[in-house]
Amino acid sequence: MDITQNNKNVASVFFDLKILNHQEPNIHKRENKLQTKSIVLIPPLFFMLACSVNAQETNKEIQANVTRLLSGMTLEEKVGQMTQIDFAVIAAPEGQKAADPIDRAKLDDAVLTHHVGSILNVPYDKAQAIGTWRKMMETVKAVAAKSRLKIPVIYGVDAIHGVNYTQNAVLFPQAINMAATFNPELSFKEGEITARELRASGLQWNFSPVMDIGRQPLWSRLWETYGEDVHLATILGTSYIKGHQGDEFSAPNKAATCLKHFAGYSFPFNGKDRTPAFMGERMLREYFLPTFEAGVKAGSPAIMINSAEVDGIPGHANYRYLTTILRGEMGFKGFTVSDWGDIKRLYTRDKLAATEKEAVKMAVMAGIDMSMVPYDFSFYELLLELVKAGEVPLSRIDEAVSRILTVKYQAGLFDPKAPVLPIEGNFATAEALETSRQAARESIVLAKNANNILPLKKSANVLVTGPAANLLSVLNGGWTITWQGDDERLYPQEKLTIFEAMQLKSTGRVTYVGGKSFNDEIDSQEAVKAAKNNDIIVLCLGEKPYTETVGNIDSLNLDQAQIKLANAMVATGKPVILVTLGGRPRIITAIAEQVHGVILGFLPGMEGGAAIADILYGDYNPDGKLPISYPGNTNDSVMYDHKPIESFEPNAYKPLYPFGHGLSYTAFQTSGLKVEKNKINIGENIKVTVTVKNTGPLKGKETVLLYLNDVAASVSRPAKQLKAFKKIALDPGQAEQLSFKLTPYDLSFIGVDLKRVVEPGDFKVMIGNETVLFSVAK
């Protein structure tokens, strides 16, 4: 439908989805015909100035170096650069070489014979000592230096909540928790600390952050996202990138990031990982592209691709997504990397290709620059055959290799004198550990506090029970020490579980009834008996660790063993505090209605046990807010930014806890909401002010959320959308006026013609219980 056919008299602002120039679009006024005038803005720098370690090379010089290097490369050397292998390909037998687990002959074969450009992953699927990593990277660097052109290998790992594959690294809350902090500064610091510890480990490239939007609560990687809201995910994700990369990711304490998983991966229709998503173009552009657009603008030099498919087209064969949109519209200049074995899967799983060779051709021609093969050199061999047969043009190979080499130059990998960041002062520092603990504190959501049951008195006698009460793994989730994060034996024993942290804080008696692993059956009768001698029960329920397809489930309901335990604890008549841990919102409605307090912990990381104890006993005033809508039932998943039809007549937005919910031990009130103008012209910003006051007895932090609603539009608009937020610490009785700026982009949406548009009319601004209106002139 053409917008000019719409019977609404509109004036529109069209936004091209372009990052390279990021120009404010033209203005179109529709009367009897469209008249056009332009807004000209100074385009911000798209791709950060990239330098080598000595900070002398400019982008122009880098491109000259790449051109020279490329001109001297053989076809085999070029195709090798596009090949990424898992560590297992170069591994010595486990236990044979503890200090350096690399088999030198295998490494020589990979780098000198097959010319591989990248290696990934941790040896033997378990975290290594920092000294081991440094030795490994020295070995890889030395072998690459023996190659004809001395092209360095870029080594990548999934360091998604700290450097989780280096022993004793500082591990942060997972992304869903970082979103619950609503604190961009903490996300920036997480990026800084992760990059520093990555570089101290000798590593250069992090497969993080996940910029997918978490709008499917069944999905086993929901917790790796920054939640359901586009604006929140954009702010937290880009803050992480800026902290991780700084102005130059070649700096000794910075490192390259990799956005993942472009695009639509996080919205599987059936909730299972690596299964199809179905979405229209409008949904794609409204919800699933903006976070990646922002990540590109923030300077991330690599993007990992969707492992599944959207509307029948697998991510690794989607030319329109990978080339037309990512390159042509967003202006992305870095390189794309496949996810684990997904090029082969175009043949083995998706049945898109008739042979593995055809799958390689499809992926490369669609826009994949580097293949995470991962266990052999099949991609290398098949791509060589395709180029020699003329089925893949050499120009496409040169394009991909140029992108890879450019990032290697930008990362400073070609500098032979680049020092490895010292361990001392850069790894597991006291300051970094405290930052992680503060992030954990701010990420925990107090969802219910009937009759101010919390905080607990430290003198109280407490029964702690439940499968999540005395394990470190359930605080951390997947991608912790191992891929699945479920090997409790490997966790650092000096870190505290919830039970252990409560024991340290309490001056009363803290009793534990439970098993030694998550699946151990807990004797309900023993717990009931123990409850008789205690004042209060802390019931810790949730999920065991998982990620990816291993974490696929059929229902959000808790297992019957946990429900049985919960019912038994409620039946004692003692006050019960429910603490939940896990990566998804498991259904707790029936339990939550009967207990006195509810704490939603999600995955608060290695300091999470201590942080939860801080909140339980009142040593920290909770200030986390939900970054998702917590469903009340397994089949009632409605997002906060739902359409009007979803809350009309019998339909309703009725989660157990809404997006943005989170209680405090003090109280806050917002008042005096104002807009600076009642009417603005298209293309203008508008200022919003509001006063927030701490009306309670304790110092605390409050996150003020600004929502916007377009009252009437040519495409149905959400009931409200988050457009700005600020977190502020206030003493009792203290009040502060906050100021927000709404831009034309904030007022825009994807219009009838699938272009970003601002239409004239009324807009509602909502903060707290107040609403004000302003209008955009025709």
The catalytic residues are: 339
Q: What backbone phi and psi angles, to 5 degrees, belong to 95?
A: 90, -15
Q: Is 240 helix (H, G, I), strand (E, B) or coil?
A: helix
Helix (H) or strand (E) holding 692: strand 686-694
Count the alpha carbons within 13 Å of 194 in the hemisphere toward its beta carbon: 36
d(CA 84, CA 153): 10
The DSSP secondary-structure symbol of 42 reads P
Structure tokens of 425?
């002062």
Whether the link from the prior residue into 644 is cis, omega within 30° of 0, is no
Quick count: other Cβ atoms within 10 Å of Cβ 144? Answer: 21
Quick count: other Cβ atoms within 10 Å of Cβ 161? Answer: 32
CB-based burial label for 646 (10 Å; 0-12, 13-18, 19+): middle
Report yes or no: 101 and 88 within 8 Å, Cβ to Cβ.
no
Q: What backbone phi and psi angles, to 5 degrees, belong to 250?
A: -85, -10
d(CA 85, CA 77): 15
- Mention every residue, 6+ apart, whose C-beta is less than 8 A from residue 117: 80, 81, 82, 83, 84, 151, 153, 154, 370, 404
Q: Which residues pair with 735 in a beta bridge?
A: 693
Count the alpha carbons within 13 Å of 539 in the hemisphere toward its beta carbon: 33
Query: Taking each helix axis from N to C terminus, what angle separates 524-531 and 560-571, rounded to the nearest 10 degrees?
Result: 20
